[in-house]
Structure 1
Amino acid sequence: MGTLLPTSLIAGELTQYEAKYDILRKGKNHGEAVRELKKISDDNYELTYHSNIEWMIFSDSRQETSKFTFKDGKVSPHHYSMIRTGTGPDKDYNIDFDAQKKVVNSSRSEYPLECEWTDDFQDAISYQVQVREGLKKGETSFSFPLIDKKGNRRDYNFEVVATEMISLPIGNVEAIKVKRLYDNDKRQALAWFAPEMDYMLVRMWKGEKGMEQFEVQINSFTVTTPVIAPPADIKKVTSPE
């Protein structure tokens, strides 16, 4: 399967990586996606997710970017953007979380969005980083308030339902299966996180009314966290003869 991701190279920091995925429908490959996590500066990170799908006459290309602070195990987003092109109308919008003023701004609105501020806000992809951190601590249920581009608050609720061995392009992996809880049974969403790979998101499945919409499977990953070299002035100590 290759080298596993370390749980952490530096205490209190997130492992930087690039992961690539196959996007499947009914077992056939219809696209690809790349997820990348980079450290920008002290406690500040950038997560991007770029996907391309081609299915019959349907096409969809989108890139989501989240810039957030990670401190004491907590993810606090401050900027989210999404650009989507393909079949149907294109989309392009930004959301900014201003923790000092306790307001949320959207590029679709001239004024701050009418929503009650909470320090628990997540954006459309930052919550996935927080789920990983929760799983590392042994948590089995999660709830996150998100703000969509129209300013509506949407609560995302999840629960751990199983630990199972799954088959992926990179080999067999033991993963924690997490289910999203909806208000009704029309939609279903499942995600698998692999503890031996620093709780990496390795598989997703979405369906509606029991019918598969698409599935995402990891096919490769690369750790990009730089190795910290010891200071140049540290001299090797040898035993006296």
Structure 2
Amino acid sequence: MGIIRNITAIALLFQIIPSYSASSTAPVTHTSSPSNGNVSSPVAQQKNSNDPVFFTPYSAVYSTVYKKGITLRVEGKQTLTEAADHQYKFDFVVDTLLASLKESSQFYLEGDSLRPTEYHYSSSVLGKRKDVIVTFDWDDMSAINTSKGNSWSMPINNTTLDRLTLQLQLRYDLKSHRDQLDYQIADGGQAKLYTFEKRDQEMIKTKLGELETIKVVRTDNLSDKRHQYFWFAPKYDYLLVKMEHFEKGESYTLNLDKITQLPTPAAKQ
């Protein structure tokens, strides 16, 4: 069962940014109540002409190595697609013989912010499933969390994200050359704060060749015994090409294996 737990840890790591932190991040607020109402999903996209162009659709494959006495390697795939009505869908999938993880987020752009409309999380370990849905009501400024047949409502602000869209918002902010990298995430009926800080530019070796990258550190859970570093490549639209996590003698390294550009809605017509 130890190997299964390790595989599960790696699968969770594949959420790339918010994964490992749920137990170590203090909530910003926690005001939840039962909810049974339907939720509206706005579709209008408002963009400022000064905002950088958003990311084109793509598919990226990552692999990670987990080391604690043994070395395990798992692959995961993330995909960004765009619908004709300027709605986006962001998926992440890890599938092994013993464990699987599937995440999906639908969102649109409101100025320079991503606005999720619905987030799905599904994991399975030896047939034991966990399913979570978070639906965002931007008219009511609330998020509805549904799990095991129960629903709760929590307040959100204009920039609240889900665990998956955080990845894209961070990249978009780096692309926009913003210095403040603080994010509120709706997760488990709570608002959790994630903070990041840009460090140096570094040349690193990857499977795509040697790349100039921006190194970013996560700061809300940083300590002498724990760190998370991320390397984003401007050449590939600020895509994450490497991540390193270390805590209590356990280390994780995640690397980009390959990237494929996908057609846009206009190209499909």
TM-score norm. by structure 1 comes to 0.79
Query: 5+ unaligned residues in a row in structure 2: which ranges?
Result: 1-51
- Please, which moves more after superposition, 24-33 or 129-138? 24-33
Partner in structure 2 of residue 174 of structure 1:
212
**How big is the shift at 1:216?**
1.3
2:160 is equivalent to residue 117 of structure 1? no
Cα separation, 1, equivalents of 2:226 and 2:128: 23
Cα separation, 1, equivalents of 2:131 and 2:155: 24
**How big is the shift at 1:88?**
8.9
**How big is the shift at 1:106?**
1.1
Cα separation, 1, equivalents of 2:221 and 2:213: 26
Q: 1:17 to 1:184 in 2, by over 3 A?
A: closer
**How big is the shift at 1:111?**
4.5
Q: Deviations over 1:90-111 (max 9, x none)?
A: 3111101110121110112745
Partner in structure 1 of residue 76 of structure 2:
33
- What secondary structure sits across from 1:133 in the alignment? helix
Partner in structure 1 of residue 13 of structure 2:
none
Q: Deviations over 1:42-86 (max 9, x none)?
A: 3310001112467xxxx4320111111124322111111111112
Cα separation, 1, equivalents of 2:152 and 2:117: 14
The structure 2 residue matched to 1:164, chosen from 194, 198, 202, is 202
Normalized per residue, the structure richer in helix is 2
Contact 1:103 1:112 in 2 (8 A): no
Contact 2:65 2:253 in 1 (8 A): yes
How many residues end up aligned between the 2 structures? 213
Cα separation, 2, equivalents of 1:210 and 1:159: 24
Q: 1:226 to 1:145 in 2, by over 3 A?
A: closer
**How big is the shift at 1:35?**
0.8
Cα separation, 1, equivalents of 2:142 and 2:178: 29
Q: Deviations over 1:197-241 (max 9, x none)?
A: 1111111222213531x2211111111134957x9xxxxxxxxxx
Contact 1:78 1:96 in 2 (8 A): yes
Contact 1:188 1:210 in 2 (8 A): no
- What secondary structure sits across from 2:171 in the alignment? helix
AA matched with 1:96: T
Contact 1:32 1:51 in 2 (8 A): yes
**How big is the shift at 1:147?**
1.5
Contact 1:165 1:172 in 2 (8 A): yes
Partner in structure 2 of residue 70 of structure 1:
109
Partner in structure 2 of residue 90 of structure 1:
129
Cα separation, 2, equivalents of 1:173 and 1:205: 17
Cα separation, 1, equivalents of 2:152 and 2:84: 27
Q: 1:31 to 1:164 in 2, by over 3 A?
A: same
Cα separation, 1, equivalents of 2:260 and 2:180: 29
Cα separation, 2, equivalents of 1:148 and 1:13: 25
Cα separation, 1, equivalents of 2:212 and 2:99: 31
Cα separation, 2, equivalents of 1:138 and 1:218: 23
Q: Deviations over 1:137-174 (max 9, x none)?
A: 2123311111212x111101111112111111222111
Higher Cα Rg: structure 1 or 2?
Answer: 1
Q: 1:163 to 1:152 in 2, by over 3 A?
A: same
Cα separation, 2, equivalents of 1:117 and 1:18: 30
2:100 is equivalent to residue 61 of structure 1? yes
**Map of 1:131-170 to 2, 5 A cutoff?**
131-149=170-188, 151-170=189-208
TM-score norm. by structure 2 comes to 0.71
Contact 1:182 1:188 in 2 (8 A): no
Query: 5+ unaligned residues in a row in structure 1: which ranges?
Result: 1-10, 232-241
